Structure 1
Amino acid sequence: MDDVSRRLWNTAIDESDYTEHSEKYQTAIMDQYKLYVEMTDRMSVRRATANTFFLLVNSTVFAFIGPLTQNAPVQQDSVLVLTFGMLLVQCGAWFWLLRSYRQLNSAKFRVIGALEERLPAAPWFRAEWAAIGGGKDKSKYWPVTQLEQWVPVVFALAYVTLLVIVTVN
């Protein structure tokens, strides 16, 4: 039996746990599990929506900022510094929002794992996580949350670089 199969089935639960007496309990656990997994999925969708919003805003700003700063008079340097400062704050907020989503998702996955202990199978938390190497083997899976946090950092570095170039010239 491979590691995924070994982790999938909960040996503490078998068909004897599904007697008429315990059926309501098992149904309640399953209903809570389904609801919680759905809520976790919705949060991932919200994170992706927030990420798309910030990416769109920054890509648009970045596309327009070059031509606008090429012929900027010297007296507008303070406006540019203020604008870049606001963009850096926005990148910081984006970074921390992604970090918060990652932390909340980690907690939710631990709760899903605890709920799966009461189910006959643990497909999401134990089996799938084992199949992708627990997020440690980058050849099997590279956690998106680790990658996506670099995007606001890259934009912030680009803004700082542009600000230096614009104000030095």
Structure 2
Amino acid sequence: MSEISESLWNDDIGASAYREEAGSYQSAVLEQYKLYVEMADRVSARRNLANTFFLTLNSALVASLGAWLSGAKRPDLPVPALAAGLLVMLAVCTAWWSTVRSYRQLSRGKFAVIEALEERLPARAFVSAEWKVLGEGRNWRVYLPLVHVERWIPLIFAVAYVFGFTALAL
């Protein structure tokens, strides 16, 4: 636990930083910090909502295609029609992958700002200490960052679409 304490407490900020003359400044930093952490949390919520949207859209596309193909007779589709359908589904996967990437970049920037704000606070709990406890995401047994999982899902759908549409074309 001493490693956590070393990461958590900021030796540069002590009780003297909260005396009357510096107290309003520290209060302003703390308020900005709280606001920024809340904004980072909202980005995470929007990211989850975007993932839910794309997962639902892909699931609906697969279910619709499956229902359409489950008719008594296998439809004889021209290759250009299959290619057009595949391109649409791959475009959805590309948009999903790009959205995940964009949110990851945005989160990375927000956490860098939060880390800088924590340098002015007596404790650096959010970025420094917690991230160290989680092994900085290097060991999947300790912590597997969601982005490592979520970035593969659109690619898995895309590969499945290519194989599925190839099978339909044959």
TM normalised by structure 2 equals 0.94
Q: Where does residue 99 of structure 1 map in the other structure?
A: 101
Would you say 1:72 and 2:75 are equivalent positions?
Answer: yes
Query: How does 1:112-151 map onto structure 2 within 5 Å?
Result: 112-151=114-153
Would you say 1:46 and 2:46 are equivalent positions?
Answer: yes
| 1:62-112, Cα deviation, whole Å (9 max, x unpaired) | 12213423522234x422221111110110110011011111101111110
Q: Where does residue 111 of structure 1 map in the other structure?
A: 113
Amino acid of the structure 2 residue aligned with 1:88? L
Q: Where does residue 31 of structure 1 map in the other structure?
A: 31
Structure 1: gaps (5+ residues)? none
Measure the CA separation in 1 of the matches of 2:164 and 2:144.
31
Aligned-residue offset at 1:152: 0.4
Measure the CA separation in 2 of the matches of 1:74 and 1:134.
50
Match of 2:20, SS state, is coil
Aligned-residue offset at 1:3: 1.2
Q: Where does residue 152 of structure 1 map in the other structure?
A: 154
Amino acid of the structure 1 residue aligned with 2:77? V
May I ask how many residue pairs the two structures share in their alignment?
A: 167
Measure the CA separation in 2 of the matches of 1:165 and 1:53.
27
CA gap of 1:74–1:17, structure 2 versus 1, over 3 A, is closer
Amino acid of the structure 1 residue aligned with 2:85? T
Q: Where does residue 167 of structure 1 map in the other structure?
A: 169
The structure 1 residue matched to 2:89, chosen from 87, 108, 114, is 87
Structure 2: gaps (5+ residues)? none
**Percent identity at matched positions?**
44
Amino acid of the structure 2 residue aligned with 1:61? L
